[in-house]
Structure 1
Amino acid sequence: MLRSDKVISRTGVVGIVLCFALGIANIFTLHALRIVFSVLCLCSAFVLIFVEIPFLLRICPTSGKFDEFIRRFTTNWMRAAMYTILSAIQWASLCSGASSLIAVAVVLIIAAAFYALAGLKSQEFVGSKTLGGQGIAQMIV
């Protein structure tokens, strides 16, 4: 049986992959509004990459303000709120017509539900060693 933190991390990674892939796939359309939502989806992918893989903050040259913004999402409740907002943006893409961006919205709301459930159960956030959590930082000398 998988621990809940591994399920949450894997859902977040699936969200990253879908945001990136479907953001690129939908950018090549004739609907101007859908292009805007595709760009927002790509931006969401890059934010999620830095939130879910904290090791990247150490190796990628980012500004202090960006680092401070990303470090706000260290609790389950903050991550649930972030995923809910990102999902709502993609649900709003329905106003430009049905597209594959709906899949992104569904996966992001599922991830938000997982983080909210972990918050309700008062579980502390546990960073995955695979994704650059606590274990990776100790391995780097």
Structure 2
Amino acid sequence: MGLLDEFRSKNFSLYGQVFGIISIILLIALGIVTFLSHVVFSIVGWVIAFILILVEVPLCMRMCPTNDKFDTFIRYFENTLFRAIMYLCFAVVMFLSSLLNTGPLIAAGVSLLLAALCYVLL
């Protein structure tokens, strides 16, 4: 099954993962760009990106040494409803950054919101 067939199957979990990876890239890149104007939200964005890397990229979980408590915590996010709630909470945090000053971090909030919607539609 090719990539085009995956998109035709309306597999919203795949769409959520794609938006999740886009969100990771945006959070890291826009955190660097807006570091001087939004120091707190840039650092929060990097922390969110690190959490999303652990949740969305399973290879990273195999490479990082973890304990049983952390593994059981991450297993909660294998459920798509928990992922949707997590992405929605992260999107709200990024939208709060726009209340202080309209900045490019709103793009990360939009991509996080789209990922949350994809996981809810599953």
Q: Would the TM-score normalized by the shorter structure come out above 0.5?
A: yes
In the superposition, the TM-score normalised over structure 2's length comes to 0.85
Contact 2:91 2:108 in 1 (8 A): yes
Partner of 2:36: 28
TM-aligned CA deviation for residue 63 of structure 1: 4.3
Q: Compute the TM-score of the two structures, normalised by the length of structure 1.
A: 0.75
State the percentage of identical aligned residues: 37
Tell me, yes or no, if structure 1 residue 45 matches structure 2 residue 40: no
Question: Deviation of residue 26 (structure 1)?
Answer: 1.2
Question: Comparing both structures, which one devotes a greater share of its residues to helix?
Answer: 2
2:66 partner letter? T
Taking the aligned partners of 2:74 and 2:108, their CA distance within structure 1 comes to: 21
Unaligned runs of 5+ in 2: none
Partner residue in 2 for 1:122: none
Give the RMSD, CA atoms, in angstroms: 1.4
The structure whose RCO (Cα within 8 Å, separation 6+) is larger is 2
8 Å Cα contact 2:16-2:114 kept in structure 1: no
Q: Any idea what SS the aligned residue of 2:19 has?
A: helix
1:92 Cα deviation from its structure 2 partner: 0.6
Aligned counterpart, 1:54: 58
Structure 1 position 75, deviation (Å): 0.9
The SS at the match of 1:39 is: helix
The answer to whether the 8 A contact 1:24-1:38 is kept is yes
User: Compared with structure 1, are the counterparts of its residues 26 and 53 closer, same or farther at alpha carbon in structure 2 (3 Å cutoff)?
Assistant: same
1:117 aligns with 2:96: no
Deviation at 1:115, TM superposition (A): 0.2
Structure 2 counterpart of 1:14: 22
Does the Cα contact within 8 Å between 2:15 and 2:115 map onto a contact in 1? no
Q: Contact 1:24/1:42 (CA < 8 Å) preserved in 2?
A: no
User: Offset of 1:109 from its aligned partner?
Assistant: 0.4
Partner of 1:80: 84
